[in-house]
Structure formats: structure tokens, C-alpha cells
Amino acid sequence: MPDRRTLEILAATALPPGRVLPGAAAHTVTRARALLGEVMPAVAAGYDRLLLALDACSLIAHRARFGHLPAAKRLDVLARLARGEVTRLVLRGLLTPLKLAYFDDPSVHAALGCRYAVAPPAPPERRRWHERICDASTLADAEILECDAVVVGTGAGGAPVAKALAERGQAVLLVEEGPLFTRQDFTGRALPALQAMYRHGGTTAAFGNTIIPIPLGRGVGGTTLVNSGTCFRAPPPVLAAWADAGLAPLGGDGLSPFYEQVEAVLGVAPSTTAALGAPARLVAKGCDALGWSHHALARNAPGCDGQGLCCFGCPTDAKRSTNVSWVPLALERGAQLMTGFEVRRILRDSDRVVGVAGVTTGAGAPKCLTVRARVVVLACGSLLTPGLLERNGLGRTSRQLGRNLSIHPASAALGVFAEEVNAWRTVPQGYAIDEFASEGLYFEGAQMPLDITAVSLTGFGPAYVSLMERFSRTFSFGFMVKDSSRGRVRGRRQGGPFITYFVNEADRARLQRGFALLARVYFAAGAEAVHLPVLGFERLESLADVERFERATVPVRHMDLTAYHPLGTARMGVEPLRSVVNVEHEVHDVNNLFVCDGSVVPSSLGVNPQVTIMAMSLRAAEGIHRRLERLQARERRRGIAAR
């Protein structure tokens, strides 16, 4: 556990008292130590090394350990760390637990006029379909279950195909590694949500010429549980390119009837002006001044009241993530749902799959369970499906498994205004700028709650505290790149996937242009300053600063990036030597194994992919149903012959 005295001095330096904020105190350090010991053990293991690096920098600069320096020199040490390519990551690691501990506090939220948490509603009336849900840990060890189709994963890929098969009369079992969350679990607090509903606490990341976090949901609903609810159809040029590549059923209007079904189930429509709030108004103002095209985003959240918590569990269930849309629809039509079950083996009989086996992940000692099925549908997502296939020796004929990863590299900037914005109580991602979509740049809102915003900002000391005290006068907006870079996913026996991704020069230039264009929108809307997560350009105060940024060549490792839309790692294609699944979503080298998630999407979309994944899964369900009918008819014929 990190030395308490050193942490107290670091906390007092990084988070001093401000105009309304009291500054870090003893309880901040107590909570930070608890976070490191209980919530962030992987970080705790290396935290003492970060403190040693802090002392080393202090000794080099001022010939004294950090804790022995006066306040001004301590700030100088932190500033030196902030200016270095590597040492800025050291500083981020040092300050993140302290910032989380300080800002995840009801008194700090109250001082800044922000809501800290939401009260859970009364438990809902139990519906009949709830009887079709079971926790795998309640079953006996070595239990064998049987069904027509087992669907592994309950997100954008798995839940729609389960509903479509169930309504056609097939016996469907949905299995999910994580638990089932309900409104009673959605407290409005970001930190507990990250711990509970994100895989590895949201720390999944790609490694290459920079580190890019790719947050994944873990629970019924998959990542739809924690996404922003944005809904786009694939752009026509993308569909045309797929058709040109031999995937004719996906081109033209091939997916249109499935898109229509998806949009009807999700209630896709733009948010109301009231829910969009001041951030959308200011973005529109800036775009109008520049003559740029902009619009309200279509979302799957009818009745949204703009509480700003989409990524941490919608407290009103207005966002129709699959846990409140497709999964209940599947259960109403006879499907079963088993939670807390991790699939590890795909069972084979010669050239066909016959089920899956795995272990329970809930309370108690792990139990081994087997599911026998006529067909297996994998819907674990682009980062997990390849590993499951690889560990089972499947999908490897083309050597494309795990390759071709696109992720839509993304980032955001913070604008500071003279007026009250109160972005924390608006739709986090409700508005867009599409002026530069043809260049592969799409701009969408990216507002986060107070504590997550505090961690994302790289500052410290009096200037940082002053900025956070103006939180109500700020808002974040983001952008993403339709990437031409490609990465790779490799499965591991333990832990998460190992992801590599190198941003190429074309995408680096797009990212830099995205920051510059976004800054211009802010200043056109009247911003006093723009904060970029870019080394050396953290605060822009005028268009002259924007122009200085545009003239520079900023390495991608100097930008703080994230990504949210991994696609393509088991891509669809007509040639078995160049793809993993065929146009019917079936794995080329084995029968009765289908993949219905983002991994089969043939290329980067340039827009949020959840609606496309759902539409493709509904289309796949038709072919899977036909396969099941043939298998069932064959079994009936064999039964008659045997008699």
C-alpha cells in the first residue's frame, strides 16, 4: 500500500483549496488507498514505482525528495512530469486515484451544484418472462442443458438473433458471462458503474504507437448497456463497397427491412430540444457561424429526460439497450436466459459443432456446465469472439481471425464558456456535426459526469481546481475517425484479449484535424478557452492558438485517445481464404457455427455500429432458422427410419 504521508503531500499539491472547493484532505487519501487496494489492485501493484519515479524527478530537478520540497517546487516537479512523453503517463497514473477519490464525493458535487446520485425506483412488477432467467451458479455441477440454438452473448449481436429465432419457434438459450442489471442497480454514480458493468473496470485497451482504451460492457446487454444510444444506418458508400466485394445481400436495400425492424423495436428518433440542452445549442451556434452542417443525433431513447448517465446505466430505462428491448422480447417468445456463465469450449462432432461448455462466474465455487445445441451462435463482440474461436482451433483456415480490427479512434475537447451550460444534466451524446463525414471525420457529443471529467483532464494545482470549479460552464464534445488503420486481437488463456493497433499517418492527420475543427466550433460559439487532451496544446485561448496547433505535426502518442466501435476481427467474405465467415454468418471451416456480432462487419463504418450489427443479426437469423429446420427434418427422418 502506498505511503500515506507521500500521498497526502501529493494530494495537497495537486488538489489545493479553491474558491469553493476545500481541497484534498485526509479522507481523500484514505479513499484513494482504498481504491488502490480494493478496486484497482492491478494499478496498486505498480503505484509505489510511480511514487519512486516522482521522487526521482524531484531529486533531479531540486536535489530533494518530493515530500521535502515547498509547494511551488512540488508544482514544478508535476509540471516537468506533465511535459514528458512518458512521464506524463506516470503523472496520470499518480493522480487518477486521487482525483477519483476526491471528486467521487457528495460534498464536492454539492459545492459545484451537481447531482451525486439518483435514488433507485421501487422494484418493478415481476413479469412472466422473468421466470425464464436463471443464474448459472444455481445449477448443479456438470449439468447438461439442451436447446436448438445457444446464443453466446446478449448485446447488439446476440439478443436480436435470439428474439428472431425464438419467435420462429426454436428453443433458444441465451448465455451471458455477466449479471443482469436493472434500474435498481443504476445509482447514477460513475465509479461503481465502472467497477460493476464494465469489463476489467473499463481498462481494456489497444497497444501500439499509443495506448487506446476500448471500454466494453459486461452484463446482460453487453456494451449496449453502457453506450450512448446513438443509432445510424451504415452509409450507402459503405454498403456499396460491400456489394462490390461480393457481399450483394448486404448492399443496396438488402439490409433495409432489417434496419426498419431494429428502428421500430428501439424507438429510434432524435432527442428533444429540452434533453439536448445548452451544449447542442452552442454547437449549433458555432456551426452556423462557420457554415457547417449539423443535426440532432438519432437515438434509441424515447422518453429520455437528459439525466446524462447513458454510459453508466440509464436510470429511467428510456435507453432501449438490449437488456430492456431485445432480451425481454426474446424471453416473451420462449427463449431462456442464463447469466453468470463463461463459455470456454465449443463442442464438435467431426465437421459440425454440437454445443458449448464452460464455467459459472457467479457466487461460490465455479461449476462446469454443458449446453448441447443443434447450432451455436457466437455474439461475444469483436474483441472476445476471436479469442474463443482461436482457443478452440476454429475459424483459422484463412489466417484472418483476429485481424482487420477497426476501432474508430476518438477523442474530445472541453470548452469553457461565460454562461451556465450544466451539461451534466443533458444527453451526453445527442448532437452531431457531419460537415466532414466525407473526410472520415464525424463529430458527436461526449459529455461525462463530474468525476469522470475530472480524471480525463490532465491538469493539477490551482489552475486545475479553478477549471473544475467552473464545471457548470463547460461541456465536452467529441469526434471519431473512420479509420484506415487496422489492428489485431489475440486470445489469452487468462485475462482479457491482447489488442495491438498502430495508428497510421493518414488517421493521425485526421485526428489532429479533428481537434482543430472542434476548437474552431467552440470559439465560434463564444468559448473563452478550449482544453485539448494533447501534449503541449492543453489550453487554447484564441484562434491564433488553433492555427499554431494546425501548423504543428502532433505525434499520435501526444494525443489522449479512446475507441468504442471495434469491428472486423472475424470478417465476412465470399472467399474462405480471405475471411472467417460466409455471407450467412457461418464460420467457413465448420458446420452449424455462426457469428453474429461486430466481428463479422467487413469494414469500418465511420458511424456508430450498433444498429448495423442488429440488422445483420436479424438477417442472419433467417438463414440460421432454415438450417435448424433442415437439421430437425433430418432428425425426424432418421427417427422414422430407426422405428
Please give the positions annotated as active site.
Answer: 565
- Cα 169 from Cα 335, distance rounded (Å): 9
Q: Helix, strand, coil % (nearest 5) of the chain?
A: 45, 20, 40
- Cα 104 from Cα 125, distance rounded (Å): 32
| C-alpha cell of residue 507 | 488517421
- Cα 100 from Cα 149, distance rounded (Å): 43
Per the CB < 8 A criterion, the answer to whether 295 and 265 are in contact is no
* Cα atoms found within 13 Å of the Cα of residue 481, Cβ hemisphere only: 25
Per the CB < 8 A criterion, the answer to whether 558 and 394 are in contact is no
**Cα torsion for 360, 366, 368, 371, to the nearest 10°?**
-10
Tell me the pairing of strands 144-152 and 368-378: parallel
| C-alpha cell of residue 269 | 428518433
Per the CB < 8 A criterion, the answer to whether 160 and 612 are in contact is no
| C-alpha cell of residue 476 | 465536452
Identify the three-state secondary structure at position 640. Answer: helix
- Cα 362 from Cα 349, distance rounded (Å): 30
CA 378 to chain centre: 19
DSSP alpha helix (H) spans, 340-460: 385-391, 450-456
Per the CB < 8 A criterion, the answer to whether 159 and 322 are in contact is yes
| DSSP character string of 6-49 | HHHHHHHHHS---SS-----HHHHHHHHHIIIII-HHHHHHHHH
Tell me the pairing of strands 133-135 and 336-339: parallel
